[in-house]
Amino acid sequence: MEKFKSLKNEGNDFVKMGKYEEAANKYSECMKLNTEECTVYTNRALCYLKLYKYEEAKRDCDHVLQIEDSNVKAFYRRALAYKGLQVRKKNMAGI
């Protein structure tokens, strides 16, 4: 549990510095230790949104909503992921 907290805090620090790839990696390490902790999924979803990885962000939010069906952050970030996917589709259609 101590290792989990340490990794999560490192991830949070990376987010504060705007280092989203590094933060996502820390959150992924957290998930190997605890797959039921929803905050690391919503945090990683935030990182993915910042990195324009909308499908990955949506997947993390879907996972959270399987565990906590009223998680507001997961709903919000999933909506942002859907929005990003729609914009990408429109841009691809124009090419």
For 30-81, how does the pLDDT look when each residue is reduced to its tens digit (9 = 90+)?
A: 999 998 899 999 999 999 999 999 999 999 999 999 999 999 999 999 999 9
Section 6-35 average pLDDT: 97
Tell me the two tokens of residue 32. Answer: 């190997």
With cut-offs at 50, 70 and 90, classify the pLDDT of residue 90.
confident
What are the residue boundaries of the structural domains of the chain, listed by start? 1-93
Q: Would the pTM of this model clear 0.85, i.e. be above it?
A: yes
Q: Which fold has domain 1-93?
A: 1.25.40
